[in-house]
């Protein structure tokens, strides 16, 4: 039952993204990251901009990645820990875009959060002696560095009908490293004690 319950957290995030996408298909942009509106006091957009997507391809790519990450790391998070993970990563990505990418006026997508989820989960893997965590971290860092140096493929931008904001991936990765010690602590705290 515990395993099924933990999957529900991940399913809920996917459904949230799907619902927001369907709502925004009618040109409702109340949840999108919009720099001008954030600076005018609509601070929730720092968080909610991560949950909308430009088109069905963008949504499908991110939900597929979410399912893969869930398959790797669902067991590490209680409902509260998972919710706080999503909130902290979303705020980290949104604040990073606001402060460090001032030329970005509009943004939607879960990919920055997903990069942070990979990092936190990989660090937890390492603490459990799953050395595949090192591969995940190294692979994610190489991907993000490649994006920073050479930008994203044109084909991906054409598919999602928007320029891929590779900075969001960087901010998600950095936020993941910053908050990972909290989740390492939480996992050790709730791990059963051995006698």
Taking only the tens place, the pLDDT of each residue in 139-158 is 999 999 999 998 767 777 78
Q: How confident is the model at residue 195 (pLDDT cuts 50, 70, 90)?
A: very low
Return the ∠ at Cα 90 (arms to 86 and 117), rounded to 5°: 50
Q: Give 36-53 pLDDT, tens digit per residue.
A: 999 999 999 999 999 999
Which pLDDT score, from 0 to 100, does residue 7 have? 78
Q: What share of the chain is helix, strand, coil (3-state, %, to 5)?
A: 75, 0, 25
Which pLDDT score, from 0 to 100, does residue 1 have? 41
Q: Give 66-103 pLDDT, tens digit per residue.
A: 999 999 999 999 889 999 999 999 999 999 999 999 99
> DSSP string covering 107-124, please?
E--SHHHHHHHHHHHHHH
For all residues of the chain together, what is the average pLDDT?
91
Strand partners, 33: 107
Under a CB-based contact definition with an 8 Å cutoff, are residues 9 and 77 in contact? yes
Q: What percent of the chain has pLDDT over 70?
A: 94
Going through the chain in order, the beta strands assigned E by DSSP cover 33-34, 106-107
Return the ∠ at Cα 163 (arms to 155 and 111), rounded to 5°: 90
């Amino acid at each position: 039952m515990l395993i099924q319950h933990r999957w529900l957290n991940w399913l809920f995030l996917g459904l949230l993204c799907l619902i927001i996408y369907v709502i925004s298909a009618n040109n409702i942009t109340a949840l999108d990251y919009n720099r001008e509106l954030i600076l005018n006091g609509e601070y929730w957009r720092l968080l909610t901009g991560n949950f909308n997507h430009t088109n069905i391809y963008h949504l499908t790519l991110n939900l597929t990645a979410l399912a893969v990450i869930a398959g790797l790391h669902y067991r590490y998070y209680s409902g509260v820990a998972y919710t706080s993970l999503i909130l902290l990563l979303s705020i980290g990505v949104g604040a990073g875009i606001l402060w460090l990418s001032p030329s970005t006026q509009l943004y939607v997508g879960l990919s920055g959060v997903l990069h942070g989820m990979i990092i936190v989960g990989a660090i937890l893997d390492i603490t459990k002696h799953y050395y595949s965590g090192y591969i995940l971290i190294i692979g994610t860092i190489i991907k993000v560095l490649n994006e920073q140096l050479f930008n994203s493929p044109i084909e991906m931008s054409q598919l999602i009908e928007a320029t891929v904001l590779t900075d969001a991936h960087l901010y998600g990765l950095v936020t993941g490293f910053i908050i990972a010690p909290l989740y390492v602590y939480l996992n050790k705290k709730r791990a059963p004690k051995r006698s």
